Structure 1
Amino acid sequence: MGVLPAKPSLDQLRNRAKDLARAEGVKLSEAQFRIARDHGFPSWPKLRAYVRRVTEHGETLQHPYHQDVEYYAGRALGLLASAEDETPGAREPFDRWGQPPTRDGARVVVAREHGFGSWQGLLTHVRSLVDSGEPFARAYRAVEDRDVDRLETLLGEFPGLVTARGTNGNDLLGMAGATCDERLSRVLLAHGADPARGNVHGWTPLHQAAYSNLPLLLGLLLEASAPVEVSARGDGGTPLVVALFWGHREAAETLAAHSRAPGNLRVAAGLGDTGLLDELLTSGRGGEHRGFYRPHSGFPAWHPSEDPAEARDEALAWAARNDRTEALRTLVSRGAGVDADVYRGTALAWAAAKGRLAAVRTLLELGADVNHPGTFGGPKHGEGVTALHLAAESGHLDVIRVLLENGADRGARDANFGSTPGSWAEVCGQPAAWELLR
């Protein structure tokens, strides 16, 4: 395989083809075909189209890499949702391409960002992506397959891959974090990948490692000087906050050793930092830097308010999902509503979903309603759900037993599916939980 530079020149490739044709005594078309194959493309027109897109769009080009056309439709809807809820930077692509914030406008934006003039042009390309020879798509498949050797080879053949971006501005280092295979990230960092680089939402590899609860990868990225205080998806959305949002205590504690930014009530409650918690509750500053509220557009739009009561109530849920019982007691004693459902889940719902047995017991002692019907996750998932539904879904048997001992209703039905906790356990592949609830 030949090496294709980060900024390939179509004129240079044409000249190479002419030189090869003269030297080998073959037709120009045969020489062009050989050069295309040398770079992994099935034909000269495929190579030519790729080089033209890279040349015309430069570093701003987003390379298609997923073969499912519905994936791009989903990205368009996500872009539109982010623009509608005023996520920072989400309106810029619409303005850049002169498109209205509508479904069709979002699809045109996604197509243009990928170097195509129309939505149909993008879809036509995507349908043949697996046979296109596109370097970024091939590297993505190597990452998905956790094929370190193939990725290493591709990075040698196409040095520009380490700085290239895919859909939503995601690069290979960010994608590697989703595989839970640190070897891929090591290879990319060795080839010069930037650990500080974020996608269109500001989401960096460190955010992804926190999201996936990968302490080893966090350590690798921190050693490579990945920034810890950068925000994604809104003010205050640091990697630490992402880890705490999901109740990933190990990742959170790794990050907290480097920085506790943004240092608000969410962070104090999630880390169980009672000193900071008392300070913020006394000063009334705990509601700052709460622009981040969801990790992706699968969660519904919401705007945090400046109401101190809302910040206290929200912090209770963050303490619960991270099993911080002392913080729970402190917050309730300072006025937090034990059954408050500020954004997608009461404290008891989050504790049950994460299997936080100590938090569940503490909240029930503090008066939480064991059968409170609330929200959780995306709107198509959790409406009118109880803590028992969520514990059943994840098979947290100890939590299920404690909830039942405290009067949890086995026959409670959620609002979306009309299903009982036992049905949730059955559908979600939790036979032990189903047996316990039966």
Structure 2
Amino acid sequence: MPTLGMPDHPDIDSFRRQARALQRAVRAGDAGAVARLARYHPGGVPDDASGLQLSAAQLVLAREYGFASWPRLVRYLKTVAEHGWDTGLGAASVADAAAEFCRLACLTYSRDDGPARWTQARRLLAEHPGLTTANIWAAAAAARPDDVGRLLAEQPRRVAERGGPFRWRPLYYLVYSRLDAAVPAERVLAVARQMLAAGADPNEGYLFDALPPPFTLLTGVFGHGELGQRRQPSHPHWRALGRLLLDAGADPNDAQTLYNRMFEPDNSHLELLFEYGLGTGDGGPWKTRIPDLSTPAQMLRVQLRWAVEHDQPARVRLLVEHGIDFRSPFEGDGPAWSPGDGRTPAELAQLNGNVDIADYLIAEGATPPGPDPVRELIAAALRADQSALDRIRAEHPAAVTQARRDRPGLMVWAAAQAPIETLTLLAELGFDINAYGRGDAPVEQPWETALHHSAGNGNVELTRRLLTLGADPNLRDRRFDATPLDWARHLHQPTTVALLEPVTAPPAGSQ
């Protein structure tokens, strides 16, 4: 798993400078640099590090950024130079009406996405109805087949030209446009067919902010993401448009689509992608460009873990029915929210209190998990099963202490996923109501408190319960340095704002 984040505008010279700096630091005996070498170099720290070769420092740096080798990193940077895209462009207005229309009409997968932008785009198009006549990118975003057909007939090479405010190719503007759900499917499909016939690549994609995996045309078709369905919806005609692209050769193994759609239990995207070979093949052209991308099988194992932990039984069943490995433990590097911690899917299902999923996996052939008092205690707490808790505590008195040691941030996960009674049970077991953790995944990463989560989600009942149990409204999260009240305000949750304002101390220096 990478420990360094890719910079906004990566270039090979900056990485060469970083590698030389690491080489010099190791040669000088810097403790931090030596620790990096020990962690990431397969040969460890040599007896005499004063002569460390630059190639060794380059390998360490590449692995810190998540690449298997320095040549793989160099290759990736070349791919970024060709396919990288800066999401900050979505926030910068432009003077040209056609370009501004494109900017407002399309998903950018930034914090600016949402219906207000698309309303502005419709208003701008109404004020300047002719802005699509000479601009193929605007014509694509507006799904105007007459304009697109004429512009391609005049200059067929336009289909491959990057332009508009984002320097995207025309088909990308069509697929990422959320201009108006009332635009007929016939217009959208007609434009897509025109461009594909003219040579548009059905696997077109960009590396948003220089990060893998790519946001492809399919990613734009299926939509969704961390901001939710309202602000990052699917294309209004996603099913027909997705099928058209898949028929044209788009690879169904689209990691960003899988990520964006995993937060909701709907499986319609998976059903379509499985129809076209999801989970099979070599990963397509993007895997060729970026060998460090996950394989199709690895992508689906990540999906299985998420579905097991987030109580998505229909998705678990769908994945199992399509041959996903549900017996083996999760091992090896993975995203922070999907670690390779050696647990099997059945163990994870039991640990998270998802008994029906565990029973299904075992019935399908998974090995039943062996006895584990700590796992059983946590699972009982997450189910708010008082009788099971009492039994486990009586039979295994040390289980509570070990559970608190293993899962110090469990309160945050419980606030996000479990019945409200679980919070009281955990507090009675001695779990810290003000502990830091993650609400989106059951991993020990100190991001926010349970009160941050409830405030940001507008959950009044849960917020009241947490305050009653001693949650501190003045604690600040570790990512944004914000209080629960700040979260409620930022996420437009007036009910929890009203609840938290009277109990939150004003910022230092305010009156």
Provide TM-score, normalisation by structure 1: 0.51
Aligned to 2:369: 263
Contact 2:415 2:453 in 1 (8 A): yes
Aligned to 1:381: 447
AA matched with 2:222: V
Provide the rounded CA distance (Å) in 1 between the counterparts of 2:219 and 2:400: 46
Distance 1:104 1:420, change over 3 A: closer
Provide the rounded CA distance (Å) in 1 between the counterparts of 2:467 and 2:78: 54
1:358 to 421, 437, 441: 421
Distance 1:112 1:134, change over 3 A: farther
Contact 2:457 2:488 in 1 (8 A): yes
Provide the rounded CA distance (Å) in 2 between the counterparts of 1:70 and 1:237: 35
Q: Which has the higher contact order (CA 8 A, sep 6+)?
A: 1
Contact 1:393 1:428 in 2 (8 A): yes
Provide the rounded CA distance (Å) in 1 between the counterparts of 2:481 and 2:246: 51
Deviation at residue 229 of structure 1 after TM alignment: 1.4
1:330 matched to 2:380? The reply is: no
Question: Over aligned residues, Cα RMSD in angstroms?
Answer: 4.8
Deviation at residue 119 of structure 1 after TM alignment: 1.0
Contact 2:346 2:358 in 1 (8 A): yes
| Structure 1: gaps spanning 5 or more residues | 1-67, 77-82, 87-96, 265-279, 281-285, 287-310
Alignment of 1:24-173 (within 5 A): 100-102=59-61, 106=65, 117=75, 119-127=77-85, 130-131=168-169, 133-136=200-203, 137-144=216-223, 145=234, 147-158=238-249, 161-162=251-252, 170=255
Distance 1:223 1:353, change over 3 A: closer
Distance 1:259 1:396, change over 3 A: farther
Provide the rounded CA distance (Å) in 2 between the counterparts of 1:401 and 1:347: 19
Contact 2:381 2:425 in 1 (8 A): no
Contact 1:397 1:433 in 2 (8 A): yes
Distance 1:397 1:426, change over 3 A: same
Provide the rounded CA distance (Å) in 2 between the counterparts of 1:135 and 1:69: 28
Aligned to 2:330: 232
Distance 1:419 1:398, change over 3 A: same
2:308 to 200, 203, 210: 210
1:401 matched to 2:464? The reply is: yes
Deviation at residue 380 of structure 1 after TM alignment: 6.0
Provide the rounded CA distance (Å) in 2 between the counterparts of 1:175 and 1:111: 30
1:191 matched to 2:191? The reply is: no
Aligned to 1:434: 497
Deviation at residue 391 of structure 1 after TM alignment: 3.9
Provide the rounded CA distance (Å) in 1 between the counterparts of 2:10 and 2:363: 38
Segment of structure 1 superposing worse, 202-211 or 245-254: 245-254
Deviation at residue 376 of structure 1 after TM alignment: 0.8
Contact 2:278 2:296 in 1 (8 A): no
Contact 1:111 1:122 in 2 (8 A): no
Contact 1:320 1:348 in 2 (8 A): no
Distance 1:208 1:373, change over 3 A: closer
AA matched with 2:239: V
Deviation at residue 373 of structure 1 after TM alignment: 3.7
Provide the rounded CA distance (Å) in 1 between the counterparts of 2:347 and 2:9: 27
Aligned to 2:110: none
Aligned to 2:319: 221
Deviation at residue 223 of structure 1 after TM alignment: 3.2
Provide the rounded CA distance (Å) in 2 between the counterparts of 1:204 and 1:342: 26
Provide the rounded CA distance (Å) in 2 between the counterparts of 1:403 and 1:178: 25
Aligned to 2:180: none
Please give the secondary structure, in 2, of the residue aligned with 1:227. Answer: coil
Contact 1:338 1:347 in 2 (8 A): no
- For residues 19-40 of structure 1, give each alpha carbon's deviation from its aligned partner in whole angstroms, at most 9, with x where no partner exists: xxxxxxxxxxxxxxxxxxxxxx
Alignment of 1:406-421 (within 5 A): 406=469, 408=470, 410-414=472-476, 416=478, 421=484
Deviation at residue 214 of structure 1 after TM alignment: 3.4
Provide the rounded CA distance (Å) in 1 between the counterparts of 2:475 and 2:249: 54
Distance 1:238 1:326, change over 3 A: same
Contact 1:393 1:430 in 2 (8 A): yes
1:320 matched to 2:381? The reply is: yes
Deviation at residue 414 of structure 1 after TM alignment: 4.1
Contact 1:355 1:396 in 2 (8 A): no
AA matched with 2:422: A
Distance 1:396 1:418, change over 3 A: same
Please give the secondary structure, in 2, of the residue aligned with 1:219. Answer: helix
What is the identity percentage for the equivalent residue pairs of Structure 1 and Structure 2?
A: 19
Deviation at residue 263 of structure 1 after TM alignment: 1.0
Please give the secondary structure, in 1, of the residue aligned with 2:219. Answer: helix
Deviation at residue 418 of structure 1 after TM alignment: 6.8
Contact 2:309 2:348 in 1 (8 A): yes
Contact 2:362 2:368 in 1 (8 A): no
Contact 1:207 1:239 in 2 (8 A): yes
